[in-house]
Amino acid sequence: MRILIATDAWAPQVNGVVQTLSQVVNRLITQGHEVRVIHPGLFKTIPCPTYPEIRLAVWPFGRLRRELREFKPQAVHIVTEGPIGLGMRLLARYAGLPFTTAYHTQFPEYVKARSGIPIRFTAALLRWFHKPSRAVMVPTQSVIDTLKSRGLNNCVLWQRGVDLKRFNPDKSPVSKHLSYSPCELASDDPQQVELLQRLNACSVEKPVFLYAGRVAVEKNLEAFLSLELPGEKWIAGDGPARKALEKQFPEARWFGMLNHAALSEIYKRADVFVFPSLTDTFGLVLLEAMASGCPVAAFPVNGPLDVVGQSGAGVLDWNLKNAALSALQIDRERPRQHASTFTWENCASQFQGYLAPIVYSAGTVRQLTGHKQPLQD
């Protein structure tokens, strides 16, 4: 099957959308599908306001139309609601092509957190964007329920996965021989070695409460960093709010952006993974932490309710301090077992099953070879 994926989120961005998409694309290609990803790297771009590390494509219609005409996909999937996703949506509607979409980010809540714009306005825009989709792929049932309450009834459950070979409680080979230089053994990751050397050289006061992910206002990190907890607070990640928070909370250990090899080590060293976000649709870091044997403390909101729920792999409480302290009592085997029920193979299989097959007609071909820009829906 020829599958065309239009996304405004792609490498070198580091986030859950990119990771999910990469995992699915790799598995589809392995299964013999031909996958073409249309991403910002193919266009002239400008920095996203408030998120300069995210690049937005400028006027992508011409390239998108050409990709549709030349690749002639048998299925089209739109990942994001940015310029590329919007351009593909308009083109597909103009040409009468069925397509599927995904809802990765609680955009109305994010916009309200950043600008104060009421949720009803951005929710209406999202309803317009996703309503023609044959299936809006959503990571959790609680988010599906939220979208249904806002008028979207074409949502389907598209669960996520975790790489258990990468994220697990086992002691890594690197941790057993740290006396050499990273360049002496090519199979070892230099950042992983550097992190372990750094941790082994310093005094760590237990317990360790960890957050990993984007450091931004919508992640509600102050709710975690302001807690009075024993031991230490660790932050792994980067983002637009890091400088201000690092200055406000200098007592926390700030590790910056870590690759997966280094991140797997820090999960193993932590005693509790604290996830203060109120706006995530899923939270892949929850699975990564649990797969590493680290129990979770979070608020009982969309994301944690579905990923952790009543599994006993973490504690969900509106009192985040109580959740963090209570999670210390959880046996580390319990989160590991729970995380093992989420697989990328199942994620890719669900994705493929939801795709809407395209049947071409002469009219469709004429629409795609024309020059008129589809600016009206």
Residue 308, sorted as left (phi over 0), alpha (psi -120 to 50) or beta, turns out to be alpha
Q: Provide the CATH topology of domain 173-341.
A: Rossmann fold (3.40.50)
Distance CA 137, CA 348 (A): 12
Q: How confident is the model at residue 180 (pLDDT cuts 50, 70, 90)?
A: very low
Please, which pLDDT band fits residue 367 given cuts at 50, 70 and 90? low
Looking at the predicted structure, is the pLDDT value of residue 11 above 70? Answer: yes
- Average pLDDT, integer, range 132-142: 96
Question: Residue 115: which pLDDT band, with cuts at 50, 70 and 90?
Answer: confident
Between the alpha carbon of residue 234 and those of residues 162, 212, 246, 320, 362, the distances in Å are 22, 8, 11, 16, 59
Backbone angles phi, psi at 125, to 5 degrees: -65, -45
Mean pLDDT of 86-103: 96
* Gap between the Cα atoms of 213 and 327, Å rounded: 20
pLDDT at 252 over 70: yes
pLDDT tens digits for range 258-305 = 999 999 999 999 999 999 999 888 999 999 999 999 999 999 998 999
Q: Tell me, what's the pLDDT at 377?
A: 61
Averaged pLDDT, 115-142:
92
Asked if 10 and 39 touch (Cβ cutoff 8 Å), the reply is: yes
Closest CA to 209 of 275, 113, 145, 259: 275
* pLDDT, position 372: 57
Q: In this model, does residue 169 exceed pLDDT 90?
A: yes
User: For residue 217, what is the DSSP state?
Assistant: G
pLDDT tens-digit series, residues 45-64: 999 877 777 899 999 999 99
Residue 81 confidence (pLDDT) above 80: yes
Tokens representing 18 are: 């990119």
Q: What's the confidence (pLDDT) of residue 238?
A: 93
* Percent of the chain scoring above 90 in pLDDT: 75
| E strand segments, the chain | 2-6, 34-38, 45-48, 51-57, 75-78, 100-102, 136-138, 155-157, 208-212, 232-236, 253-256, 272-275, 296-298, 314-316
pLDDT class of 39 with cuts at 50, 70, 90: very high
Of the candidates 90, 102, 19, 9, the one whose C-alpha atom is nearest the C-alpha of residue 48 is: 9
Task: In whole angstroms, give the CA distance from residue 88 to residue 91.
Answer: 5
Domain 2-161+346-369: give its CATH code. Answer: 3.40.50.2000
Place of tokens 């590991």: 336
Find the distance separating the first CA and the last CA of the chain, reported in whole Å: 28
- Using the Cα atoms of residue 119, residue 125, residue 127 and residue 133 in order, give the sign of their dihedral: negative
Q: State the average pLDDT for the chain.
A: 91
In this prediction, residue 105 has a pLDDT band, given cuts at 50, 70 and 90, of confident
156 falls in which pLDDT band (50, 70, 90)? very high
Of all helices (H) and strands (E), which one includes residue 193? helix 190-201
Q: Is 374 helix (H, G, I), strand (E, B) or coil?
A: coil
Q: What is the pLDDT of residue 364?
A: 63
| Range(s) within the chain of domains with CATH label 3.40.50.2000 | 2-161+346-369, 173-341
Q: What is the sign of the dihedral through the CA atoms of 273, 277, 283 and 284?
A: negative
For residue 21, CA distances in Å to 48, 289, 374 come to: 20, 20, 27
Q: Rounded to an integer, what distance in angstroms lies between the CA atom of residue 97 and that of residue 78?
A: 12
pLDDT at residue 41 tops 80: yes
Radius of gyration of the chain (CA): 22
- CA nearest 292: which of 208, 202, 230? 208
